[in-house]
A and B are shown apart, each in its own frame.
Chain A
Amino acid sequence: METLPLTETVLFILLSLSGQPRHGYSILKDVEKMSDGRVVLSTGTLYGALRRLLDDDWIERFEEQDTSRGRQAYRLTPQGRQNLQLEVSRMKHLTRLATLRAAKQEV
């Protein structure tokens, strides 16, 4: 079960799906691109995370209609999107707090 705060892997996967539905390969490449090559997921890690997110109803799986191969794709559910927003808010708060504290120490 996924709980907040999210792991970096899960956060990147959710961010990747926040813009548009994607299939497995596309998620792998997008995560690599978003993290400037720092996070490179193996297929085992990716599908383990996807399975957990599917179980928790944070994402859903569907068959892509516009491709001849009928690949499986993934998209965020409203619950997944809400949890992603919660995590982003939590991180924003943390960043604001850290910036304030660090600024105080410099003075």
Chain B
Amino acid sequence: MLRLYRSLLYLYPPIFRRQFGTEMLAVFRGVQAETTEHGIIPQGVLYVRETAGLLVGALQEHLRAVGAVRAFLPSPTRRFAMHAEFRFPKITAVLMTLILGGIILAIEKARMIQASYSQGAPLVPLETARLTFFPTVALLLVIFYAAGLVGWAVLFALRRTGVHRLADMSAQQK
């Protein structure tokens, strides 16, 4: 679980991870050690709670980072360069893609089983399943990345309007 916890921490923006990662891991270790004494069910509850907390927390931190217009303030050395701490880490994109792929795979599998057994129909041939599965995954990934692209485009357009100059300069200098 500790390995999973450490991996999930990579979903957070780098600045958050640098600031709190080690501490969060230490606190989790403490809670885990304490829960181990109480049996399997409390451990299961802990793992579910922690996983959900990390997923939601990471999403909130990314939304905050994207929503913060100050992220697009020009750097003193390079115009249009985004601050390093707000860069979308590659590992996050890879993990999100894997999670999305896993969810789609599970849904598709469940749909196949349901369709086969509920109507007494013969099992869906593997070739047919492949034919429907891969285009679905590809389409969803295209939609996913297109939505991301639109989001970045909107933020970029906002930056060009100069609205970013209204951001809190004192916080930027901290």
Contacts and interface: CB of A to CB of B under 8 A. Distances in A.
A15 B24 CA distance: 21
Contact of A25 (B27, B50, B61): B27
A14 interface: no
Interface residues of A, number: 18
Contacts of A42: 49-50, 52-54, 57
Main secondary structure of the interface of A (DSSP, over half): helix
A24 B60 contact: no
B91 interface: no
A43 B29 CA distance: 11
Interface in B35-57: 49-50, 52-57
B57 A48 contact: yes
B71 interface: no
A43 B54 CA distance: 7
B10 interface: no
B24 A24 contact: yes
Interface stretch (B15-23, B78-86, B128-136, B155-163): B15-23
B53 to A, nearest CB: 3
Contacts of B28: 43
Interface string B136-161: 00000000000000000000000000
B31 interface: yes
6 contacts: A24-B23, A24-B26, A40-B49, A43-B31, A44-B52, A48-B60
Interface of A: 23-25, 28, 40-48, 50-51, 55, 71-72
